[in-house]
Amino acid sequence: MSAFLSCARPGRWLLAVAAVGALAGCGGGPASNISLIPGNQIEAQSRRDGLFTQPVKWEHTKPGCHGQCPSIKLDSLAFPSVQRLTQLVDHALATMTGVNPQRIPPYSTIAGYEEYFWKTAAPRDSTQLLAKARYRSKYLTVIELDTYQYFTGAAHGVSATQFLNWDNNRQTVLSLDQVLLPGQRQAYVAALRAAHKRWLAGNPDARRDPASYDRLWPFQPSDNFAFTDDGLVVKYDSYQIAPYSAGQPELRIPYAELAGILKPEYLPTASH
């Protein structure tokens, strides 16, 4: 078994999270209590101080295939100054392609996935692997990972999403428990539930029949969070809290609602 996957949990995209411990290391919060979220900064200002990135793009079809052929499209990022982060993004995207939550994929890199895919794909199968910097600052780099797979004969494709919140100084991915104050997970869930209610209020399908919508698509807590300039974004896969037609819903929790929940260094201050 790959060392990256030794702590894998059920769920195909959660295998990517399990890779973090082996590849990036574990640890507690930052050594100092300075704010890691610059206050009074627009996105462009924050991104200016972030890690340097380079695009990694290609589109391949099965070698030797003619006519209708399986394909893979990659639109990702490399971090020339942080090799471990480049490796983590590559590994996480590859791992997110596993469709059986009970089975660890027999590959650990995109190159390995591509080799496996050509051996197993049907003529119309396709995979898209995407990584983009969602937020960048001097202290944090937040990467959004997305995969989309279409299998021949299916009514529609299968998508998955995962955020990686990278601490630039400590060179590790931050878990939710590492950024919450002790004992505040339930308070975080309550804030997320309030964000969900706001999202429902702007959802025409939910407004038409709230009771039925809530029964079919009840609220679910999630650890898939991302830092942004103005709050935490929590993103869901299709079918988690909404039908496929709703895409991948995002819930936003303003930092003002996270005081006393997030550790102080992850809240913006006017002096930074």
d(CA 191, CA 209): 24
Mean pLDDT to the nearest integer, 44-56? 75
For residue range 223-263, list pLDDT tens digits in order: 999 999 999 999 999 899 999 888 899 999 999 999 999 99
Q: Which has more pLDDT, 178 or 158?
A: 178
Provide the pLDDT confidence category of residue 11 given band limits of 50, 70 and 90: very low
For residue range 99-132, list pLDDT tens digits in order: 666 778 899 999 999 999 999 999 999 999 999 9
For residue range 143-173, list pLDDT tens digits in order: 999 999 999 998 889 899 999 999 999 999 9
Q: What is the pLDDT of residue 35?
A: 56
Instruction: Dump the DSSP string for the chain.
Output: --GGGTT--SSTTHHHHHHHHHHH----S-SS-S-SSBTT--HHHHHHTS---EEEEEEEE-TT--SS--EEEEEEEE-TT-HHHHHHHHHHHHHTT---TTS--S-SSHHHHHHHHHHH--TT-EEEEEEEEEEE-SSEEEEEEEEEEE-TT-SS-EEEEEEEEEETTTTEEPPHHHHBPTT-HHHHHHHHHHHHHHHHHT-HHHHH-HHHHHHHS-------EEE-SSEEEEE--TTTSS-GGG-S-EEEEEGGGGTTTB-GGGS-BTT-
Q: What is the pLDDT of residue 204?
A: 92
Provide the pLDDT confidence category of residue 179 given band limits of 50, 70 and 90: very high
Sorted by where each starts, the structural domains of the chain and their CATH numbers stand as 3-177 (3.30.565.40), 179-266 (3.90.640.20)
CA angle 138, 161, 239 (to 5 degrees): 145
The percentage of residues in the chain with a pLDDT greater than 70, rounded to a whole number, is: 80
Question: For the whole model, what pTM was predicted?
Answer: 0.83
Provide the pLDDT confidence category of residue 7 given band limits of 50, 70 and 90: very low
Least confident among 1-10, 32-41, 174-183, 263-272: 1-10
Least confident among 84-88, 155-159, 197-201, 261-265: 155-159
The percentage of residues in the chain with a pLDDT greater than 90, rounded to a whole number, is: 71
Q: What is the pLDDT of residue 47?
A: 55
